[in-house]
Amino acid sequence: MAEPMQIVIGDIVQMRKPHACGGDTWRVVRIGAEIGLRCQTCQRKVLLPRSEFERRVRRFVQRGTATI
Ligand SMILES: [Zn+2]
């Protein structure tokens, strides 16, 4: 990617592949070398390396407002 993706806590993202539970929207709950995501359908939490997160995101459904 040409520019680093802007990610903030509270962002709601839609992923290219649905979760095992069938949900495809996730809330960003942690930002670092890995991005923490909570599935909005089953509430399970996963950690993805930032590069993998950027590849998997389809779109931002809603932007969060938190700053770190
Ligand atoms: Zn899920």
Domain holding 56, by residue range, is 12-62
39: how many CB neighbours lie within 10 A of its CB?
A: 20
* 5 part of a folded domain: no
- Predicted pLDDT at 5: 83
Contacts of 40 (CB under 8 A, 6+ apart): 12, 23, 25, 26, 27
* 57 part of a folded domain: yes
Contacts of 13 (CB under 8 A, 6+ apart): 25, 26, 28, 37, 57, 58, 59, 60, 61
* 32 part of a folded domain: yes
- Predicted pLDDT at 3: 74
**Ligand 1 centre distance from Cα of residue 56 (Å):** 15
For 36, the token pair is 């923490």
Residues of the chain under the 50 pLDDT cut? none
Place of tokens 């930002």: 31
**Ligand 1 centre distance from Cα of residue 24 (Å):** 7
* 4 part of a folded domain: no
What's the structural domain count of the chain? 1
The pTM for the full model equals: 0.88
